[in-house]
Chains A and B, each alone.
Chain A
Amino acid sequence: MNKPRPLYLDNAATTRCDPRVVEVMLPYLTEAYGNSGSRNHAFGWEAEEAVEKAREQAAALIGANSKEIIFTSGATESNNLAIKGAAHMYAKNPEGQTGRGHIITALHEHKAVLDPCKRLQKEGFDVTYLQPPADGVITVDMVAKEIRPDTILVSIMWANNEIGTINEIPAIGKLCHDKEIIFHSDGTQWVGKMPTDVERDNIDLLSWSGHKMYGPKGVGALYVRRRKPRVRLEAIFDGGGQERGMRSGTLNISGIAGFGKACELCQHEMQSEGERLLKFRNRLETELAKAIEVTQVNGNASKRVPNITNISFGFVEGESLLMGIKDIACSSGSACTSASLEPSYVLKSLGVGDELAHSSLRLSMSRWTTDKEIEYTIASITKAVLHLRKMSPLYDLFKEGVDISKIQWQTH
């Protein structure tokens, strides 16, 4: 840990925990270590007080009532509980039968949404996976077209984790309410960054995670609407009946206290932070496009969260690009490291060509990102791309005017 650390632009993967959050957490590990389930002594009361405070802070961030917040281990668990819990509760037919109900989601959702849906398909539910358009934005019309009389659940993420695009959530929520369909949104990349109001935005179930918004890892929340409509879920964990029976298990008190604090900080700071991050993002995108020909920002130009950008640099493979900027921590859509040799399924679902998908970088910023870091990043990426293009046979073909997509490649 004492070596010089790379500059961190992978905040869509995880963020640094804010020191103000850590400060709130520490006493619950060492002194106030009670179990919030202990009702008969001060240790338990202290813990319960911390949890209830955090519940208020989490609810305030999204315009909910604190009774509507369920604490979980993170957004993966929240998504599983929301999707499987709602499907099982509102199933049209009992277990073991087919035709148990129809679910709508999208191809570029996170795996923590897609994989629960796949499991439900095996259990007799039908799932429609919407094909996103080239700009990545799921509109209310796309959802409306797929709704059937047996549709029980729609799950559409608020902002995409790879490209940052924002789906038409309030309108999709309104549609679902009109049709009496439960609406879940994975808000992992949205909540804490952008203003959220579950009433105005018509959300029934909303997942999010602490560690994407300067809180600790291993703690997240699920908002579960209590009225109009009252949403019920079948629990996944059985046990002590914590969290209104929806999530048994001793609560992670210090984590939850930190999660609450992180929510509070985001609520107060998101606006000024968002403006700063948007300036950084615009600067990255415009200056890189100016310095390097054939670059492409993936996803809708304006409907994106301010902290994420995903850029493809033609004719350069992503992993080799990461090697060239190894003092910048970020992600690539290239899957050269995976055995499948498949590039990012999110970019592919948008119809981004394979070679451009392999050539992509995701840069995601935080409240600690500085002007200097952005400047350094632009210079480093430019240098690395130009180094790699000098040895890229695809760049030569492009310069000769050959259309790479028309070549008969010898594939493996």
Chain B
Amino acid sequence: MAYSDKVIEHYQNPHNVGSFGSSKEVQARKDVGVGIVGAPECGDVMQLHIQVSDAGVIQDAKFKCFGCGSAIASSSLATEWIKGKTVDEALAIKNTEIVEELSLPPVKIHCSVLAEDSIRAAIEDWKKKNGHATAVDTHAAHAH
């Protein structure tokens, strides 16, 4: 399969790789939201850490990804896009926008879905930790 130049660029020089601490450390931090989506048996796991201000602005984001090049590129791009956005703005990001930006082929659409899911899961986690109302179904409207 031929990858788009953008996918290759993200794969070789991924943006914002990392975390804000071990799984225990980030669990204890109220300003950090954690999203882990996917499963090893499906061949992709995405982990997104977001650091959110009291005003609900995503100040920093870090990702780790076990998955194909498109999954790595999707999560790398997601961290770029959500930094500086409010949580509501970040929730508005659609997987189709990621597909378009990275020119993902149909067989790789699930990678963009996972990236969107990881944003939602991380924001949910942050909201829960801070006593905000949460949307129940992070999976709504995804066709798999």
Contacts and interface: CB of A to CB of B under 8 A. Distances in A.
Contacts of B23: 396-397, 400, 402
A392 interface: yes
Given A317-B66, A391-B63, A393-B66, A411 B72 contact: no
Interface stretch (A28-36, A155-163, A176-184, A330-338): A330-338
Nearest to A355: B40
A162 B48 CA distance: 35
Nearest to A343: B43
Given A339-B107, A392-B64, A402-B23, A358 B69 contact: no
Nearest to A338: B107
Interface of B: 1, 3, 8, 11, 14, 17, 19, 22-24, 36-47, 63-69, 71-72, 107, 110, 144
A320 interface: yes
Interface string A319-332: 11001100000000
A52 B67 CA distance: 52
7 contacts: A317-B44, A323-B3, A323-B68, A336-B67, A391-B64, A400-B24, A409-B39
Nearest to A315: B66
A320 B22 CA distance: 24
Given A317-B66, A317-B67, A337-B107, A393 B43 contact: no
A402 B45 CA distance: 15
B107 A393 contact: no
A178 B38 CA distance: 52
Contacts of A354: 40-41, 43
B47 A341 contact: no
The list of the 9 closest CB pairs from A to B, nearest first, reads A354-B41, A355-B40, A409-B39, A393-B47, A393-B64, A319-B68, A336-B68, A358-B43, A323-B69
B68 A320 contact: yes
Nearest to B19: A396
A334 B3 contact: no
Given A319-B69, A337-B107, A412-B110, A404 B40 contact: yes
A316 interface: yes
Contacts of B42: 341, 411-412
B44 A336 contact: yes
Interface string A374-407: 0000000000000000111111110010101000
Which one of B22, B41, B66 has the highest number of Cβ atoms from chain A below 10 Å of its Cβ?
B66
Contacts of B19: 396
Contacts of A392: 64-66
A397 B39 CA distance: 13
B40 A394 contact: yes
Given A320-B69, A336-B68, A339-B107, A390 B17 contact: yes
A2 interface: no
Contacts of B45: 393-394, 409
Contact of B68 (A315, A317, A339, A343): A317
